[in-house]
Amino acid sequence: MTATASRAIGPSANSRPLWGRLVRRPELAAAIVFIIVYSFFTIIAKGQNFMTLQGTAAWLASAAELSVVAIPVALLLIAGEFDLSIGSMIGSSSIIIAISSSTFGVPLWLSVPMALTCGGLVGAFNGYAVVRTGLPSFIVTLATSFILLGGTLGISTAIMGTSTVSMTQESWVRTALASDWNNFPVVILWAFAIALVAWWVLARTKYGPWIYATGGNREVARAAGVSVNGVKIALFIAVGVFAAFIGAIQTMEFNGGNAANGQGYTFQAPIVAVIGGVLLSGGYGTVLGVVIGTAIYAIISLGVFYTGWNTDYIQLFLGVLLLIAVAANSALRRIALSR
């Protein structure tokens, strides 16, 4: 394992001072930003329902949906790769489910696994293409994104005459993916479960060090016996599956599919990962940081709405926040590596 990787995950000696241990945590800057952002909107949006149960449920739901995609994307970033096809995969899976269930009568308990399988196959293609050709994952997955989006639009229009397909089929699958309790949707539980599993993989299994080592220095990792190509392909598959999964959830929520669904996630997912302390160069980051990053993103998005300000300011806030987060994360990492 590389020094970078070991420091990223590394449990350092407990004899270090508390600040020395905290400054080594990739999520530290995100945690500080979360407190500032939440406090800011608590004050500014006071009396505008931001602090109510409904307001809290709204930003938690938004953060949870983004987390479902952002967590596997973050793991892929830690391994040193990038995936721009997630937005198109979300739209494709929603169309697969909507058309198969509404037009061909396929039950949801079958159409959803079909969509997840397609997501996995797309991820496998991306991973295999990257490791076999040596092309940058940015280029490979960008091409895949265009292929998926164009193919989905064409097929949907050819079959249904439109890129938006309604779906009214009822099933226990809809309850499992899109039900809610007192305005708190079940996707929050799904996001929590995914985050817990991802944390366990990184912190408690041999695959965690493999992921960090792959992104930290793949040649050293390969020399140490790490299956670098296998790690990358597996993570690309995970990204494809969970992108399809969020597409399934949104299909149930909105009672239909749209080929253009999820395009915003293409950059939102890596943005919240970077805000949460993940390095685009790989080898550094935590699941907790990504979760905090999604919470920050959701609070800003919903907070601006509750203030009554022009929602165009959301992009302004996020742009400034991204620059601050990258600068803060880089500074903290330099401090951590120098200790």
Which residue segment(s) compose the domain that 200 sits in?
3-10+25-332
Residue 18 lies in a domain: no
Nearest CA among 216, 325, 212 for reference residue 281: 216
Phi, psi of 88 (to 5 degrees): -70, -30
Residue 339 in any domain: the answer is no
Question: Each residue of 326-339: pLDDT tens digit?
Answer: 777 777 667 666 65
Average pLDDT over every residue of 226-254: 95
- The count of structural domains within the chain is 1
d(CA 66, CA 269): 7
Query: Of 157-161, 292-296, 313-317, 335-339, which range is least confident?
Result: 335-339
Residue 147 within a domain: yes
Tokens representing 180 are: 């809610």
Looking at the domain assignment, is residue 62 inside a domain?
Answer: yes
H/E element, 213: helix 207-216
Q: What is the mean pLDDT of residues 186-205?
A: 96
> Does the pTM exceed 0.95?
no
Please report the pLDDT score of residue 336 as a whole number: 61
Q: How far apart are the first and last CA of the chain?
A: 19
CATH number at residue 242: 1.10.3470
Lowest mean pLDDT among 48-52, 54-58, 206-210, 300-304: 48-52
Let me know if residue 224 belongs to a domain: yes
Does residue 239 form part of some domain? Answer: yes
pLDDT (mean) for 85-94 = 95
Residue 328 within a domain = yes
Which regions of the chain does DSSP assign to beta strands (E)?
164-166, 180-181, 184-185, 256-258
pLDDT tens sequence across 266-286:
999 999 999 898 988 888 889
Residue 207 has pLDDT above 70, yes or no: yes
The answer as to whether 222 is a domain residue is yes
Give 150 or 280, the one with higher predicted confidence.
150
Q: Say yes or no to pLDDT of 89 above 90.
A: yes
Query: d(Cα 41, Cα 33) in Å, to the nearest integer?
Result: 12
Which residues, including other chains, have CB under 8 Å from residue 275's CB and lie 6 or more apart? 30, 33, 292, 293, 296, 297, 321, 322, 325
Which are the contacts of 232, defined by CB distance < 8 A and separation ≥ 6? 76, 79, 80, 81, 127, 130, 131, 214
